[in-house]
Amino acid sequence: MNKESRRKLTRREFLGVTKAAAVGGVIAAGVVGAAAGYFAGTGAAPAKTVTRTTTVTQAGAPTTITKTVEVPAAEKLKVGYVYVGPVGDFGWTYAHDQGRQWADQRFKNVESKYVESVPEAEVGGALESLIAEGAKLIFTTSFGYMDATAEFAEKNPDVYFVHISGYRSGAAGNAPENMSAAFAEFYQLYYLNGLAAGAVTETGVVGYVAAHPIPEVVRHINAFALGANYAYKKRTGKNIKCYVDWLFSWFDPGKTRTAAQALVEEKNADVLAFTEDSPTTLQVAQEYWEKGKRVWSLSHYSDMTQYGPDAHLTGQIVNWGPIYLDFYKMVATGTWQSVDIWTRIGDYLPWRWRLPVEKSTAGKPEGTVYLAPLNPAIPSEWQEEIKRRYEEMKELLFEPFSPEGNLGEPIRDQDGEVRIGPGERADHDMLWSMDWHVEYVETPLPR
């Protein structure tokens, strides 16, 4: 032993070693835990039976007895999905099917099946078929399936149900305990879209092609109009004007085309947001570009840049996968608990820390809801503003439905009544039952 190794450790060295050991320990524990959890929870054995050989050495007589027993492998989790549209709609249902595949790839020991194009009032046959196929976990992915999902949850207590975009669940107390509710919420992204719109509009008019006048769509229109006004007013000192064209349908490319053209030609809008399950609005905007007129639009649910390479400003994108995977794990490990969750920016990220603007992940896939790539045509100071707000919202430091999101002014409705006053923020219930438009929306809300 030499002298070196016997000398006393300095405090700094001790801390260094301890830190390394602690970090190493945490990492090692994490790796072991993850590996154990992975093999225990999901299993990687697709075979129907596993042969386990046990060798027993008996005391006294040195004979070795080899016993072979058939042990059933971890059973595949059977999952069913009910879709309202065709998986090829490149909108709502397409996004859900992408989420299903994302969750399946990561969970592995799962067999998922889906039934597509199921009319909202007629979900019973699809649910019965999936249950007959042995599904243990069923996702119903349209608002109109809510009551039937609750009814089937009551009739099938051994099957777990997750309803997307509704308000009934065991957690909310208005459905059985084997039913959960989940939703990936876009209003923050619509606000950021609004910022981008307000930053590029030349006419000061934005349009919105909207599906059904329900709170979800109403708050998205409001968030978009608020964002657009924020940017436009800061640029020019004038209020934005937002016009809405209602389709009363979730999927109608024909009507969408007419509506989008009307917003451009009759209302003079040069940015079009939309809630409709096809890229039609973006395509219409691109057609104007090809005719030499600058009209912008957005991505909806998935990256639609290819449908309007010039017209694509940014947009809202969803990945349902992490939400689905969570429910897979709950059911597989027997840790089901009825929940009523809505995910926003920052949820399902490895950490919830905001990044500096220059390192911002705005425009890159992450979590469950994220921003589509930002068009370089957006002026750089507004790109930075969008990134700053995006990062702030990861920690919920910024809320669009607050005076801060409206240049410090209280948020008023179309009648001029103050809905969100100084120091106030919209909460979940206000957002979920929103039945008024902000003052910048010119079109009255149908009722």
Q: Which residues bind other proteins (CB under 8 A)?
A: 80, 86-87, 113-122, 124-126, 128-133, 143-144, 147-148, 151, 155, 167, 212-215, 218, 248, 432-435, 446-447
Q: Which is nearer to other proteins, 13 or 128 (CB)?
A: 128
Q: Which is nearer to other proteins, 80 or 321 (CB)?
A: 80
Q: Which is nearer to other proteins, 133 or 395 (CB)?
A: 133
- Residue 62 tokens read as 């040195």
Q: What is the DSSP letter of 171?
A: T
Question: From CA 396, how far away is CA 390, in angstroms rounded?
Answer: 10
Say if residue 379 is exposed, middle or buried (CB neighbours under 10 Å; 0-12, 13-18, 19+): middle
The amino acid that residue 374 corresponds to is: L
Q: Which is nearer to other proteins, 331 or 434 (CB)?
A: 434
DSSP reduced 3-state for 136: coil
| Helices 253-265, 280-290: inter-axial angle, 10-degree rounding | 50
Question: From CA 152, how far away is CA 159, in angstroms rounded?
Answer: 9
- Residue 184 tokens read as 């990936």
Nearest to 433 by CA among 113, 88, 167, 82: 167
Q: Which is nearer to other proteins, 143 or 307 (CB)?
A: 143
Question: From CA 237, how far away is CA 249, in angstroms rounded?
Answer: 36
Q: Which is nearer to other proteins, 121 or 418 (CB)?
A: 121
Element (H, E) at 117: none
Q: Which is nearer to other proteins, 148 or 231 (CB)?
A: 148
Q: What is the DSSP letter of 307?
A: G
Q: How far is the CB of 144 from other proteins (least distance, A)?
A: 7
Question: From CA 424, how far away is CA 310, in angstroms rounded?
Answer: 39
DSSP reduced 3-state for 100: helix
